[in-house]
Amino acid sequence: MPRVRLKPLSRQTIVVTGATSGIGLATVRMATERGAAVVLVARNEDALQRLAEEIRGRGGRAEYQVADVADPAQVDAVAAKAVEAFGSFDSWVNDAGAFIYGRMEDVSLADQRRLFDVTYWGVVHGTLAAARHLRHQGGAIINVGSVLGDRAIALQGPYCAAKGAVKNATDAFRMEFEGEGLPISVTLIKPGPIDTPFMEHARNAMGTRGTRNPPPAYHPRVAARAILHACETPVRDLYVGTAGWLTSLGGALAPRLTDYAMEVLAKPTQTSEDPGRAERRDNLYEPKEDLSERSSLAGPAPRGRSLLLDAQMNPGKAAALGAVLAGAGTNTSRLRYHRRR
């Protein structure tokens, strides 16, 4: 298996789908702040144009391509645009997603298929398009999954199912690329609750005025840090947020207990009387208001750092800290033992 070598971010061109909102928007802004060129991809042409102008106004390099990732031909056009504009690309971030709240019985099959077309098939289309280019020069493919791909939550069934499919497709792509000897790094990002406009962009089939994230939520830039780390560093998976990771862990170690807890908590933690901005509501089939990293919903400020993510991104430092803490614990125990004697 060849060693995958990834360029420093300042020398990269990065393609980002879902670039005009939430995690995708935070990612492109942070990437350009660090010197990368970006190809912005979304359905909202007005937002894409404004975002490209914003980046260029700060001295950054940006081009955009209007695309619905559910259509493979439009995704292929994104790759062609990147090559036309910058000669090549080095990393491809599959971030675009669709969202629906509601009981499985209450969400129409047409809406569930649309969600899969964007959230699952969009990742497959993007990975295939990226791999056709990167197989010759090497690079990184980063797929934004979710902890809900490990462990479903009630009232987000179609989304959880799609993210579970994303996880397994990502694992399959990774194994097959490695088996073929391709110099492509494939990373799955697993965010927990992130304070993005997705709650307002979601279609709401619950009959409530609004939707919300189960707390605690993290700032989108925390997830963006994980994505940009994967652009430079070959890594298999990255969890964003300890609470989300604990949800995955609980589902693996105590699935029935986790079922019961989620049955009790699902509705009160995901419903709200605050509908958010009407201009953003329900973008399942048509783009709505974009260009915000965070939601407009009231609530506690999102967390700006994930210690779990820091540990994953710096495993040497985490191991050293663990050894220090373990040593401190051992020394404390010995001291107490000698004092007792």
| CA–CA separation, 159 and 99 (whole Å) | 6
The active-site residue out of 159, 218, 239, 285 is 159
Say which residue the tokens 């807890």 belong to.
261
Angle formed by the axes of helices 45-57 and 22-33, to 10°?
A: 20
* 39 touches 86 (CB < 8 A): yes
The verdict on whether 159 is a catalytic residue reads: yes
Strands 203-204 and 237-240: unpaired
CA-to-CA dists, residue 84 to 26, 39, 63, angstroms = 25, 11, 10
| CA–CA separation, 29 and 33 (whole Å) | 6
| CA–CA separation, 35 and 31 (whole Å) | 7
CA quadruple 75, 80, 86, 91: dihedral positive or negative? positive
Locate 56 and state its tokens: 């260029």
The full length of the chain comes to 341
Locate 181 and state its tokens: 């000897």
CB atoms within 10 A of CB 237: 16
* 32 touches 60 (CB < 8 A): yes
Active-site residues, by number, are 159
